[in-house]
């Protein structure tokens, strides 16, 4: 397995810490974290990462600007949501959604499914 660098955008600190631990347990590295749309968009535009994991709702705001920044770079990502796929931002229908709370196995399966071939 090749280690992937991951951008994590999640507004709940405890969930973010849990996800970092899970990602690292899977052999990947969280290279950047953000808790807001503004910070997430900035980091998504400048950091070097292989994959982004994006919470759909960031303190009541849609993660869409962050998703647009990731997509504009041609990088893979998936959404994380406690509400299922109903909150997926317009224009991102069909993007994978991982329900939270998630298990380590579900997180692994989603990362493996979204990363380009040879990256996992």
**Per-residue pLDDT at 71:** 97
What was the pLDDT predicted at 117? Answer: 67
**Which residue ranges form the domains of the chain, and what is each CATH number?**
5-114 (3.40.50.2300)
- In the numeric block, the tokens 């899970």 are attached to 22
Note the pLDDT of residue 104: 96
Cα gap 70→115, rounded to integer Å = 14
Task: Kindly give the confidence (pLDDT) of every residue in the chain, 120 residues in length, as a single tens digit, with 9 standing for 90 and above.
Answer: 578 999 999 999 999 999 999 999 999 999 999 999 999 999 999 999 999 999 999 999 999 999 999 999 999 999 999 877 778 999 999 999 999 889 999 999 999 999 986 554
Which pLDDT does position 101 carry in this prediction?
A: 87
Output the pLDDT for position 120.
44
Q: Is 105 exposed, middle or buried (0-12, 13-18, 19+ CB in 10 A)?
A: exposed
Q: How many other CB atoms are there within 10 angstroms of residue 16's CB atom? A: 19
Cα 73 to Cα 104: distance, rounded to the nearest angstrom = 27
The angle at the Cα of 68, spanning 54 to 49, to the nearest 5 degrees, equals 60
Query: What pLDDT shows up at residue 65?
Result: 97
């Amino acid at each position: 397995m090749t280690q992937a660098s991951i951008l994590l955008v999640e507004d709940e600190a405890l969930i973010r810490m849990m996800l970092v631990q899970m990602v690292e347990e899977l052999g990947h590295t969280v290279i950047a974290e953000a808790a807001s749309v503004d910070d997430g968009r900035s980091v998504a535009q400048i950091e070097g990462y292989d994959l982004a994991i994006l919470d759909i709702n960031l303190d009541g705001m849609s993660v869409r600007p962050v998703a647009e920044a990731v997509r504009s770079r041609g990088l893979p990502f998936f959404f994380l949501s406690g509400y299922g796929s109903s909150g997926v931002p317009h224009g991102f229908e069909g993007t994978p959604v991982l329900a939270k709370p998630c298990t380590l196995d579900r997180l692994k399966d989603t990362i493996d499914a979204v990363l380009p071939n040879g990256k996992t």
